[in-house]
Amino acid sequence: MVIRGRVWKFGDNIDTDVIIPARYLVTIDPAELAQHVMEDIDPEFAGKVQPGDIIVAGRNFGCGSSREHAPIAIKAAGVQAVVAESFARIFFRNAINIGLPVVEAPEAVAETETGDVIEVDTDAGTVRNTRTGKVYQSTQYDEFIQQIIRAGGLMQAVAERVKARQQAG
Amino acid sequence: MGMTMTEKILARAAGRRSVEPGEIIEVAVDLVMTNDITAPLSIAEFKKLGLERVFDPQKVVFVPDHFVPAKDIKAAEQSKVMREFALAQGAIYFEIGRAGIEHVVLPENGLTLPGQVIIGADSHTCTYGAFNCFATGMGSTDIAAAMALGTTWVRVPPTIKFVYTGTLPPDVGGKDLILYTIGQIGVDGALYAVMEFTGEVIDDLPMDDRIAMANMAIEAGAKTGIFGFDEKTREWLARVTDKPYEPVDSDPDARYQQVIEFDVSNLRPLVALPHLPSNVYPADEIEDMPIDQVVIGSCTNGRLSDLRIAAEILKGRQVHPRVRCIVVPGSQEVARQATREGLADIFLEAGAVFSTSTCGPCLGGYMGVLAKGERCVSTTNRNFRGRMGHRESEVILAGPAVAAASAVLGRVASPAQLD
């Protein structure tokens, strides 16, 4: 899968409290959560982000809470993928589970700016910056994680297992 | 080749003789937990599967604790979704007035035992590692899958061994030890690894202090924190359960990603300044930093021993006229004991609020939300931007001794600075 989009760049340790502040966790409606995405790091972000954009960030993206509302808010805001130097582990898992592509590409992050257009190739494990033409390596998913992605998310994968189990009696 | 205690727990739960760091394995879970914020998503995902029952109602736990007693209508609706599902499933459910904060309540009820695998839709699920089990936080969808299957997948994490040597000085506790550790290694210093806490200082450390350390392993990016099993663990658990359990210990030749040794003999009470838990300084080095609020409580420091430390300092003293001090017992049981021992009276006489048990203030939910420009010293675990309220408010993390001393002096202060 190749994802092409315009970049919004953020720094290190972008935590789940700034991605979606707890005061908005009284709903599980993705559209409502998306209205407040990244609000405490950039109050204007929800108004600026366009469907198809890509978030690029530094180390430890998504650190903090286990709230799945964080990747849900990002995805519902139309963000196609997050590219970071590294991800906090719960956020990474949550993103894969709900079908938000998350890619680790430290060198690409260092040389990417807000407004650049990049191409993320999740199969080839590359990130290409169309402004500079440079291509960077990104870490590739394990086969196990690829299975979740191919199924369309964790619950789709689980549903297949539950169905197989029921058929087996 | 030897295994760490974590590898042994995971191998057992996977039905294997051994596992190695980096492997992806499927493990049986002994307990699956969610709260009023994360449960509604888990339940919605679970229902998509069309299953009638969770895998085992006696291994699925629901705890309303974040926005309870309900702070508004939407929060009430979320709690209602969880309550109705929990009762319909016959799952373990802890209602307010009979429970409290999940990470205080589950251990109190003997639900977190050595050798177990526990997952929860709350990042501080790692707290239970103090009881020699593998416990880790996950998102709502992972929890929904585990509610259906009774299993979850994990990548076997490498372990970093922390060895604490020396003698712990007065007024320095588990919170200071973990803040010091995070200050040294950074907020992603243990990313994806397990933090195994060992050494002579740990051997002497009371359970409540171990719990506070395990609680904040996530603040260093860790998969979880874990402690060995000893007489202190055994005694603590004997008070709450007679269920059998199987402790685990690391082999002498276990492999560690890293071994880090700290001599903590000269440690002073610490604070973490905004906006990262790794931004750590000795409290007595912070000069002239006035504060508006103090919160003493949470899943990190809301236990009886924490309240005792705070009460000892507040006894016969007054909260500074400019400061609001909010004391939140971690559970109904903690509140009852604090009342019985006279601690509640000490707080009330000092001019503090003594609240019912809730996570509320820690995450800016309610019961102590900060206005623009306000500063709070808090015994909680996160000081990210906007964590406790307005995005231009500030949270300073500390243990109960520093929090109580700061409440009296109206500025960030160490207990030694009181007259």
**CB neighbour list of residue B244: distance below 8 Å, 6 or more residues apart:** none
Q: Nearest CA of chain B to the CA of A18: how many Å?
A: 7
Nearest to A60 among B72, B188, B365 (CB): B188
Q: Nearest CA of chain A to the CA of B49: how many Å?
A: 6
pLDDT above 70 as % of chain A: 99
Q: Is B47 on the interface with A (CB under 8 A)?
A: no
CA distance B264 to B281: 14
Q: Is B72 on the interface with A (CB under 8 A)?
A: yes
The gap from C-alpha B15 to its chain's centroid, in whole angstroms, comes to 29
The answer to whether the beta carbons of residues B204 and B212 sit under 8 Å apart is no
pLDDT in tens, B105-120: 999 999 999 999 999 9
Best mutation target among A25, A27, A100 (most B Cβ atoms within 10 Å) is A25
CA distance B335 to B340: 9
pLDDT in tens, A86-139: 999 999 999 999 999 999 999 999 999 999 999 999 989 999 999 999 999 998
pLDDT in tens, B355-411: 999 999 999 999 999 999 999 999 999 999 999 999 999 999 999 999 999 999 999
Q: Is A26 on the interface with B (CB under 8 A)?
A: yes
CA-to-CA dists, residue B117 to B146, B153, B209, B250, angstroms: 12, 11, 22, 16
- The answer to whether B153 contacts A43, with C-beta atoms less than 8 Å apart, is no
pLDDT of residue A150: 86
pLDDT above 70 as % of chain B: 100
Q: Is A89 on the interface with B (CB under 8 A)?
A: yes
**Cβ-Cβ contacts under 8 Å, B218 against chain A:** 64, 90
The answer to whether the beta carbons of residues A116 and A6 sit under 8 Å apart is yes
Q: Is B44 on the interface with A (CB under 8 A)?
A: yes
* Helix, coil or strand: residue A130: coil
CA distance B369 to B197: 34
Task: Work out the average pLDDT over B28-53.
Answer: 97
Q: Is A35 on the interface with B (CB under 8 A)?
A: no
pLDDT of residue A152: 87
Instruction: Give the pLDDT band (50/70/90) at residue B90.
Output: very high
Tokens of B331: 């559970």
- The answer to whether B44 contacts A28, with C-beta atoms less than 8 Å apart, is yes
**Cβ-Cβ contacts under 8 Å, B276 against chain A:** 13
pLDDT of residue B196: 99
In chain B, residues 23-42 whose CB comes closer than 8 Å to chain A: 24, 37-38, 40-41
Residue with tokens 């299953």: B51
Task: Work out the average pLDDT over B245-253.
Answer: 98
Best mutation target among B36, B219, B387 (most A Cβ atoms within 10 Å) is B387
Task: Work out the average pLDDT over B163-185.
Answer: 97
pLDDT of residue B1: 82
Q: What chain A residue is nearest to B72 in terms of C-alpha separation?
A: A26
pLDDT of residue B115: 98
Closest C-alpha to B262, from B170, B200, B186 = B200
- The answer to whether B384 contacts A21, with C-beta atoms less than 8 Å apart, is no
Tokens of B292: 């508006």
- The answer to whether B45 contacts A66, with C-beta atoms less than 8 Å apart, is no
- The answer to whether A94 contacts B24, with C-beta atoms less than 8 Å apart, is no
